[in-house]
Chains A and B, each alone.
Chain A
Amino acid sequence: MRRGALVKRVALNGAGLLVALFAAFPVYWMIATSLKPNREIFSATPGRCRPTRRWSTTGRSLPGI
């Protein structure tokens, strides 16, 4: 009985984490992208997020801006 309750709790919290991941990931991705230099945004492999302080200047160097 106690083991069953534990399994249930783990399952419920796991489901909660999955829902939170699904809902918040695009928002996280948006913020992460805003901190990347252009080179990394358009590269084929999403690198680790190394925050740049140059986004204000790289924004102006985008094609068409």
Chain B
Amino acid sequence: MTTLTKASETSAARENPARRRRRVDRLPYLLLLPCLVVICVLLLWPLGQVVAMSFFRLNNVRQLRGDREWPWVGFDNYAEILGDPFFLTVLRNTVLFAVANVALTMILGTLVGLLLNRLGKRMATFVASCVMLAWATPALTGTIVWKWMFDDTSGLVTWLFNALPDGLSNALFGRADWTGYGWFNSPLLFFSILTLVVVWHSFPFIAVSVLAGLKSVPSELHEAARVDGAGPWKVFWKITFPLLRPVFGILVVLSTIWDFKVFTQQFVLAGGTQDRLTFMLSIYSYAEAFSPPPKYGLGAAIAVVLTLILLLVTGVYVRMVLKQEEES
């Protein structure tokens, strides 16, 4: 009896790992399958479609429906974009805007994260909740509110500037009456307001991520550095930053991707696609594709160029981070 149970036990033990291993081998893929299907249908298929469209001349909505044939033009769409001097203006706008916004978002977000870490518990909760309100506001709604505030007659900012003493306003800006002032007319002012809106929308995520990173750094390290006579500036660059380097790395990559493809905020603030001087790649792609006369192929080609630039930027940065980790 005892030998029998022992034997069956050992046979079960011998059999079990093999069976378990086989099951474990297949199960993860099975569990991943729904996700993969969703990604393929929602992400990869449209992406492939855009790449395909960029090689055809598509000027009619009937072609998209499949009623008319698609004439193959090879790389003509790309040649047309890259040969257009206007593309350089758009590229310059995009790169300058992205660099300025990533820098400002990272600086403000990091400072707010450090501040939240230093505040008392109740105050930190209050400030963090307010900051998360900005993060939770949808891009469209938030931008519409900012646009109201910069309205040229009933906007809050116009009212504030009107409320300045006339002498001061004249001395600083050369005008006292701000009613009817077009806040979005000059490209520089437009980009400043766009930067304000985009930074307002994106700094909460950086702040909360940096705060989460800071919570994981043992406070003894900071105390030791402070005892050794390091100021806040030195403590940040010698201790906090090296420890949180992976966090900052991924945050910079994410911000770069988000700020390169800003569309909603620009479309709402500019009120459509008329203001060609302030075009950036994503709105340029949209305008070429959908504003009459439609050029879907050209728009798709611009979108592919934008994607390639993003892949390049991200790839370079990821390699840099990996190299730094190997060295240290």
A residues contacting B by CB (< 8 A) are 12-13, 15-17, 19-24, 26-27, 29-30, 33, 41-46
Contact = CB atoms under 8 A, between A and B. Distances in A.
Given A13-B119, A26-B146, 10 more contacts: A12-B119, A15-B115, A19-B115, A19-B127, A22-B200, A23-B204, A26-B134, A26-B200, A29-B156, A45-B159
Contacts of A22: 200
B130 interface: yes
Interface of B: 112, 115-116, 118-120, 123-124, 126-127, 130-131, 133-134, 137, 141-142, 145-146, 148-149, 153-154, 156, 158-159, 162, 179, 200, 204
Nearest to B128: A20
A23 B149 contact: no
B131 A19 contact: yes
A26 B142 contact: yes
Contacts of A13: 119-120, 123
Given A15-B115, A19-B115, A20-B130, A29 B200 contact: no
Contacts of B133: 23-24, 27
A29 B148 contact: yes
A29 B137 CA distance: 13
20 contacts: A12-B115, A15-B115, A16-B115, A16-B124, A17-B127, A19-B115, A20-B131, A21-B130, A22-B200, A23-B131, A23-B133, A24-B130, A24-B131, A26-B146, A29-B145, A29-B148, A33-B145, A33-B148, A41-B154, A46-B156
A15 B133 CA distance: 18
Contacts of B123: 13, 16
Given A16-B127, A41-B154, A44-B179, A23 B200 contact: yes
B204 A44 contact: no
The B interface, classified by DSSP as helix, strand, loop or mixed, is helix
Contacts of B134: 23-24, 26-27
A41 to B, nearest CB: 7
Contacts of A27: 133-134, 137, 145
Contacts of A19: 112, 115, 127, 130-131
Contacts of A41: 154
A41 B179 CA distance: 15
A46 B119 contact: no
B127 A20 contact: yes
A29 to B, nearest CB: 6
A22 B116 CA distance: 15
A30 B141 contact: yes
Contacts of A46: 154, 156, 159
A26 B153 contact: no
A29 B154 CA distance: 13
Contacts of B120: 13
A19 B118 CA distance: 14
Contact of A44 (B112, B127, B154): B154
Nearest to B146: A26
Nearest to A42: B154
Contacts of B116: 16
A20 B116 CA distance: 11
A26 B137 contact: yes
Nearest to A30: B145
A27 B138 CA distance: 11
A60 to B, nearest CB: 19
